[in-house]
Structure formats: C-alpha cells, structure tokens
Amino acid sequence: MVDLTRALAGPQATMMLADLGARVIKVEAAAGDDSRHWGPPFVGDDEVSTYFLSCNRNKESVTADLKSTEGRTLLEALVQRADVLVENFRPGVLDRLGFSLDTLHQLNPRLVVCSLTGFGHDGPEGQRPGYDQIAQGEAGLMSLTGEPDAPTKVGVAIGDLLAGMNAAYGIAAALFEREHTGRGRVVRTSLLASIVGIHAFQGTRHTVAGLVPGGEGNHHPSIAPYGLFETEDAPIQIACGNDAIWRRLCGVLDLVADDPVVATNADRVANRRQLTAVLNERLRYGPAEHWLRLLDDAGVPAGRVRTLDEVYAWEQTRSQGLLVDVEHPTLGHLQLPGPALRFDDNAYAGARAAHVHPPLLGEHNDTVRTWLGLTPAAADTTDMKEEA
C-alpha cells in the first residue's frame, strides 16, 4: 500500500490494513506528517508526538517531494508495484501533481485507489478542507451531543476515525472484487459521509418522523431508563433495554414496575425527567460498588464511568488484546492501544504475530528506494501540505 495520507483519517485506514498484514509505505514531506507536530504531549529527547504514535504502527516511512523529478519517479515506481494507493489531498491535488486517476491506472490497471476528503470529492462544497471538528458540526453530530442548547464535540476525532474505518473496508471490498475482474477501482469516502452514515436512529427520527433531534445529555432519547445516574460517591450507568430488565431494576430499587406513569418504555420516555429524579434519589443511599453488585446479581446491565488510566489497567481490556507492545528506536518499549479485531486462535493468515513501531521520519528512505531499484538518496525538501 502506498500511503500519501496524513493527520488521522487516512493513517487510521492504512494502519487498520497494516495490522492485518499489509505492507504500508508512508510517503511524507520533509517536515513529516502533520500529526508528528501535534502536541503536547511529546515524549523522548526527540519530542515524538503521542498523536502520531496512535495511528501509524506497522508502517514504513519514506520522504519525498512529489513536485520534484525524484519524488515523481519514486511515486511512479511505488504505484507500479502497489495494490493500493490511499490519499487525502483536497480534490484535484493529485491531478496537479501529474497522477490523475487515468495516469495511475495506466501505470497499474490493478491499482485500487482510495480517496478521503472532508466533504466529498464533488458537489458545491467539495473543495472545502476537512478537519474533524468542523465536520462534526457541519454533519450534525455536535447538535446531538451534550446537553440541550450546548453543542458538544465527541471526545475523539470520530469523523476522522469513522472515515478511516470506511476507507479500510471499502479497500478490502475493492481488493476482493479485483480477484474476479483483474482491475482496480476507485473507493471514496469523506468525513461528512462517515458522520451522516452513523446518524442511525437519530437520522430516521428526522427523515421518517419529521423531528429535529437535539442534545439529550447522558440519557437516551428513545429508551428509559438508559443513561447516567448518581450514587452516593460516583456516577453509574444503567441500561433498561426492555420491560423485563425494567422490572428487575424495580426489584433492586423497590419501585413499582406497573405504575401507569412508568409501565411501558413509551411511558418512561415521556416521563423521563421525573423517573431520573426518582432513580437518583434511590441510588444516593449507597455507593457505586454496592449498586453495581446488586444490579449485576439481578441481571440489570450497568457499569461505572472509567478514566483512561482505569481502562488500560482493567484486566478485561488486557484480556482482549487491546494493548500491543512495540520497541521504538528512540523511546524504547511502548504499549499502544491495539486493533479491535481478533481471529480464532489468532490464526488469520495475514495477521501480525508482532507489531512494529510507528516509523521515524524517513526511516526507510534507503531500503525502499533500493527495493524499487532506485538510487538511495537523501529525501527532497517539500511542502506537501494540501489539506484533506
């Protein structure tokens, strides 16, 4: 895979496929991927960005100026050998660099090209630069998150991450199709498409029911009780997905399950403020651990709200392989958040037995050029900063 992406959406896509065994060659400007400079926090004497470490494991890095003869020669050689090229330039940039889709497929008819943009490759606003928080607002997600009249972004760059996931499965589908057709195709996604694509029940609340949903805080708009509740010492979450669970919750809290005000889910949603107040009042008579134990014994889905240090120390997290160990050339031993997929007996043919550190900038300049039959040389200087 030739990875011309930077920041998060594209690097997330290529990292997901690198985790599954793809060889990913990341082509960077002389200054490196933008995310190498995003911090603090930075770690080590060379001030390595923890942001960059989060989305670039299992890749090789070469530096090149794609506007130079040497850079274009390098990219042409990579394209001729590649299965996939991934880019997140603004629409038209790759054409101006001399690598239009027609040119890419003349060089390699089997090449799958994946393009990630902010708002789509065409349409009246297709040229807009794509940054996650802008897309969260424009695509409606912030209007659904947080308290009423207080639009709130999600705590991670969810538009970028979703676009990366969509790109990865689109690439996998195109590679599968290529086994039958012998030809590559173009896969496109965007931050806008990826966020609108997960509106789910909030979307149909508008498109079908004609409502305009807003922020609901930490409670569900269509299920109750389903949200965050206060105990004596810490908040807990409770999810009553059906009436049977509701009745079990009532048994724990000594409530009347068949009270007409709260007998059905529709009743409970209609009277959610009153219901939430009653539950909070009951739960404040004991600490979180007490209630979580009773709810678990009764078969009521519930949980605490963990901080990230608690999540990564949690044995359940570790049991799922969600932390991976790598040895970094300058930072030494690192633990990184790991891939979400597991395969039976870890026997998937392409899965990595061990993960490789996110690369130093230009770490593979000579080895990649030698593999391509090019003369190893110091990378060109460049300013390859056309936003997604």
**What value does the CA radius of gyration of the chain take, rounded to a whole number of Å?**
25
Which residue type does 368 have? Answer: V
Q: What is the pLDDT of residues 43-99, one digit of tens each?
A: 999 999 999 999 999 999 999 999 999 999 999 999 999 999 999 999 999 999 999
CA atoms within 13 A on the CB side of 383: 0
Q: What is the pLDDT of residues 193-240, one digit of tens each?
A: 999 999 999 999 999 999 999 999 999 999 999 999 999 999 999 999
Average pLDDT over residues 324-348: 88
**Per-residue pLDDT for 152 more than 60?**
yes
Q: What is the mean pLDDT of the chain?
A: 94
- Please name every residue paired with 335 in a beta bridge, in sequence order, or none if there are none: 325
Angle 195-21-110 from CA coordinates, rounded to 5°? 75
Q: What percent of the chain has pLDDT over 90?
A: 92
Q: What is the pLDDT of residues 371-383, one digit of tens each?
A: 999 988 654 444 5
> What local confidence, expressed as pLDDT, does residue 352 receive?
80
Banded pLDDT at 294 (limits 50, 70, 90): very high
Concatenated DSSP letters for 5-24?
--SSHHHHHHHHHHHTT--E
Helix H or strand E encompassing 59: strand 59-63
Q: Cβ distance 369 to 62 under 8 Å? A: yes
Q: 218 is written with which tokens?
A: 């930490």
> What local confidence, expressed as pLDDT, does residue 386 receive?
52
Angle 226-139-273 from CA coordinates, rounded to 5°? 25
> What local confidence, expressed as pLDDT, does residue 342 receive?
85
Identify whether 3 is a catalytic site residue. Answer: no
Separation of alpha carbons 261 and 184, rounded Å: 59
User: In 3-state terms, what secondary structure has residue 226?
Assistant: strand
> What local confidence, expressed as pLDDT, does residue 82 receive?
98
State phi, psi for 118 to the nearest 5 degrees.
-80, -50
> What local confidence, expressed as pLDDT, does residue 379 receive?
46
> Helices then strands (H, E): number in the chain?
17, 13
Instruction: Identify the DSSP state of 245.
Output: H
DSSP H helices, the chain, are 9-19, 50-53, 69-81, 93-96, 101-107, 132-138, 141-144, 158-181, 191-196, 200-207, 243-253, 265-270, 272-283, 288-298, 308-313, 315-319, 365-371
| Domains parsed from the chain with CATH numbers | 2-198+315-371 (3.40.50.10540), 235-304 (3.30.1540.10)
Count of Cβ atoms closer than 10 Å to residue 353 Cβ: 5
**Per-residue pLDDT for 259 more than 70?**
yes
> What local confidence, expressed as pLDDT, does residue 348 receive?
54
Selecting among 33, 65, 83, 160, the annotated active-site residue is 160
Q: Cβ distance 119 to 128 under 8 Å? A: yes
**Per-residue pLDDT for 260 more than 50?**
yes
**Per-residue pLDDT for 350 more than 90?**
no
Q: Please indicate, yes or no, whether the overall pTM of this predicted structure exceeds 0.85.
A: yes
> What local confidence, expressed as pLDDT, does residue 384 receive?
52
Report the residue count for the chain.
388
> What local confidence, expressed as pLDDT, does residue 353 receive?
77
State phi, psi for 283 to the nearest 5 degrees.
-70, -20
Q: 275 is written with which tokens?
A: 């219901």
